[in-house]
Amino acid sequence: MPDLSTVVLADLVPLELIVFIFFTLCTLLGGAGVVFSRTLFHSALSLILSLFGVAGYYALLSAGFLAVVQLMVYVGAIAILILFAIMFSRSNNQPEKGQANHQWWISLPVTAVLFLILMFVIGSVEWPVSDVAPPDDMVEQLGMAFLGSYLIPFQVIGVLLSVALIGGVILARDRVDTEEM
């Protein structure tokens, strides 16, 4: 009779695998929804679901900061921007005719071959796994890296974002005649 008093649930059921499967379903179903939805709005919502799945992956990989930043930037800003663009450009949600691809007879074999190649390559690599635990002060180290060894890319990103912001404001400005008022 095996000793049942020291068996724990984590030995019987791989909990991490279950969480991983859940996030994988979110990502893949979201991706499928983006492609197969009949309305553009539904595609955007499926994209948001997919981005949630990716944020879950980051959390599983112990990159909690990156998971929250992914939610903040992608779901909180970029997805809303996409939704605004869609809502301004569509009259109302008539279901558009399905996104039929009339060249599926050549794209399907090409995609299948590419998928097989990728599977083969990914499966045949010995992915090294590190035993080092993620550091406690990860956010602090990230900040030091931004201002230390990666200072120039950080500043370039800042300039890029400022240019985009200012450009957006200038493009959307009203052309007010200065002789009025």
User: Amino acid letter at 11?
Assistant: D
Using CB under 8 A as the binding rule, whether residue 1 contacts another protein is answered as no
Q: Which is nearer to another protein, 27 or 51 (CB)?
A: 51
* Burial (CB count within 10 angstroms: exposed 0-12, middle 13-18, buried 19+), residue 45: middle
One of 22, 65, 104, 150 touching another protein (CB under 8 A): 65
Tokens standing for 2?
């095996």
Q: Which is nearer to another protein, 104 or 140 (CB)?
A: 140
- Residue reference for tokens 């200038």: 170
Q: Which is nearer to another protein, 111 or 155 (CB)?
A: 155
Using CB under 8 A as the binding rule, whether residue 76 contacts another protein is answered as yes
Using CB under 8 A as the binding rule, whether residue 176 contacts another protein is answered as no
Q: 3-class DSSP state for residue 142?
A: helix
Please give the Cα distance from 43 to 57 (Å, whole number): 21
Please give the Cα distance from 151 to 53 (Å, whole number): 31
Which residue ranges make up the site for another protein (CB under 8 A)? Answer: 4-5, 7-10, 12, 15, 39, 41-42, 45, 48, 64-65, 68-69, 71-72, 75-77, 79-80, 83-84, 87, 92-93, 139, 177, 179-180
